[in-house]
Amino acid sequence: MSKKRILTTSMGDQTLRLLTLLMAVSVLVLMAWMGWQMFDAARPSIQKFGLSFITNRVWDPVKEQFGALPFIYGTLVTSLLALLLAAPIGLGVAIFLNEMAESKFRAVVGFLVEMLAAIPSVVYGLWGIFVLAPWLRETVEPGLAKWLGFIPLFQGTPVGFGMLAGGLILAVMILPTIAAISREVMAAVPNMQREAALALGATKWEMIRVAVLPYAKSGIMGGIMLGLGRALGETMAVTMVIGNRPDILPSLFAPAYSMAAVIANEFTEATYDLYLSALVEIGLILFGITLVLNFFARLLVWSVARGPKGGNVV
Amino acid sequence: MNDYFRKYKNLMMLTVFIGATIIALIPLFGVLGYVVKNGLSALNLQFFVNLPKAMGLPGGGMANAIAGTLIMVLIASALGIPIGILAAIYLTEYDRHSWLSTAVRFATDVLTGIPSIIVGIVIYTAVVLKMGNFSALAGGLSLAVIMIPLIIRSTEEMLKLVSHSIREAGFALGISKAKTILKIVLPTAAKGIITGAMLAVARVAGETAPLLFTALGNQYWSRSLNEPTASLPVQIFQYATSPYKEWHQLAWAGSLVLILMVITLNLVARYAFRSKSI
């Protein structure tokens, strides 16, 4: 081999190495840059309102009054409602797929559950407007009011568009995330554990309870947190069904607003700088919350199913 | 505790899990059923060739929105796929275990969880405000940002499946590392990488939130990449939240087209390109 040939190949090596390194580092840069961009754009609002931004419940752009509390409230209530519904069902799906189903059945049902995640958010929203909300208004909400009306959560006029609709649609949308990650961490439980439990005479449920769930517990928690993260930031479907009114009302039937929804609706209408800046600050809060949530969720998932194993984690 | 009780409890819990799975699938069929039913009745040739008509007039279409979605997804893929694959190569071929690659891997995971509307805000402040107008470029860029972590993740996984002996065979023949990666490792994992890329494309094709204030939307054809551009998801959103019956019909038709696109991509990715060999 001539000297020149060696030189060029090593140059090619260096180029590819540097190029890939650059792209890898760009992910870190991208994340930091996103945070900085938002902080920078939110600065006027942060300086003007300080902490009162998140405790003030009045949002009135005409009077330059910006309080994010109604949006934080709407986001939290709908997301928690979604979690309450989706976590047990998602876990049930994961147990069914991982521990019970035959492999052919598992592939089909697993695919269908993943399809739930593939349906675009805006399509869920469309369905929410024309199918879910009318159904809630005419059937579900009057029924809930009749039987559980003594609880403030279920009082008030059935509107259809409100926090209940938002929470339900979010539950559908985060279910695949929770199911997929719970499945992944349960698949990482060594079979020896299961066999040991069965050998001691455990029934299938006892095996799941004593051998699988404890082992996968922290990973499942991580999956649930990732689901929560998705719910907090989910925009379109919620915007379309939550009713878009910045009020803080106890009833789940009442129209409300979420952080992502107010950004989606008002961003292009923000007529002056402070208004835009206030919207960006809401985005920044959302960014911060989801960042922290994802950070800890990933730590938990990694602790069970380490690193980039097991594919379609959403 | 007697055996009878234990068996009873076992049966009950297993039924609960089956029930959960059935409940989980009800919304899937609910949504798909309504989209197919309402979409089919509104879908016709006009939908694919016409521009949107003024409020309330029948016969409008979403030709420009379909084209806009394709263009922006193309821009996003042209940026996101190479960047993602290159970053994944670094993580598997050059540096698997250092703190840097762990940090990159972690950031990638965290980025996939950032709400897509955040990406829209960032691209708005960084690109739209600087350029002075909404554009397909800004829209494509925001989709690329969403795509990159997805591509890194899936590609990395596929590259990790390539066995070391294949790489060592390359080195043993005196082939340079760069060539080994480009000519041997990548082709071996190609099917899996394509699958991952298609799934990422399917994912961003349905994204609405990041396009709202980057590409904005357009009732007409966009003549350049530097103009506000319509997209299928944004158009569906605007029509669905409008008060006009004709527009609602179009929104259903648009949803049917969008879902068909996304599901086809998913199916093709999973079954046509799936390989069990690596």
The ipTM value here is 0.93
Indicate the length of chain B as a whole number.
278
* Residue B234 near residue B69 (C-beta atoms within 8 A): no
Subunit contact B109:A95, Cβ cutoff 8 A: no
CA-based nearest residue in chain B for residue A169: B27
pLDDT of A213 higher than 90? yes
Please report the pLDDT score of residue A157 as a whole number. Answer: 87
pLDDT of A112 higher than 50? yes
* Residue A173 near residue A260 (C-beta atoms within 8 A): no
The dihedral over CA atoms of B113, B117, B122, B128, expressed in degrees to the nearest 10, equals 150
| A-chain residues near B103 (CB < 8 A) | 28
CA-based nearest residue in chain A for residue B87: A24
For the B61-272 domain, the top CATH level (class) is mainly alpha
Strands (E), chain A: 59-60, 65-66
Between CA B17 and CA A166 the distance in angstroms is 25
Please report the pLDDT score of residue A314 as a whole number. Answer: 36
pTM: 0.92
pLDDT-derived band at A300 (thresholds 50, 70, 90) equals confident
> What tens digit of pLDDT does each residue of B61-111 get?
899 999 999 999 999 999 999 999 999 999 999 988 899 999 999 999 989
* DSSP, residue by residue, A131-166: IIHHHIIIIIHHHHHHHHTTSGGG-S---SSSHHHH
* Residue B41 near residue B255 (C-beta atoms within 8 A): no
Q: Does A265 touch chain B (CB under 8 A)?
A: no
Nearest-CB residue to A127 (from B9, B34, B106)? B34
Subunit contact B154:A311, Cβ cutoff 8 A: yes
Which among A71, A152, A116, A95 has a CA at the least distance from the CA of A227? A116
Q: Which residues of chain B, if any, have pLDDT below 70? A: 1, 56, 273-278
Neighbouring residues of B223: CB distance < 8 A, sequence distance ≥ 6 = none
> What tens digit of pLDDT does each residue of B198-229 get?
999 999 999 999 999 999 898 888 889 999 99
Mark which residues 117-176 of A lie under 8 Å from B by CB: 118-127, 129-131, 172, 175
Nearest-CB residue to A24 (from B91, B120, B203)? B91
Between CA B50 and CA B257 the distance in angstroms is 15
What is the average pLDDT score of chain A? 90
* Residue A116 near residue B30 (C-beta atoms within 8 A): no
What is the average pLDDT score of chain B? 91
Q: Does A303 touch chain B (CB under 8 A)?
A: no
* Residue B196 near residue B112 (C-beta atoms within 8 A): no
pLDDT of A1 higher than 50? no
> What tens digit of pLDDT does each residue of A221-249 get?
999 999 999 999 999 999 999 999 999 99
3-class DSSP state of A248: coil
Residue A277's CB is within 10 A of a number of other CB atoms, namely 22
Report domain extents, chain B.
61-272
What CATH topology corresponds to A50-304?
A: MetI-like fold (1.10.3720)
Between CA A247 and CA A74 the distance in angstroms is 9
Q: Is A201 left (phi over 0), alpha (psi -120 to 50) or beta?
A: left
Report domain extents, chain A.
50-304
Token digits for B113? 């969880």
- What does the longest C-alpha to C-alpha distance in chain B come to? 77
**Average of pLDDT values for A259-270?**
94
Nearest-CB residue to A12 (from B103, B176, B266)? B176
Looking at residue B53, what DSSP letter applies?
P
Please report the pLDDT score of residue A6 as a whole number. Answer: 53
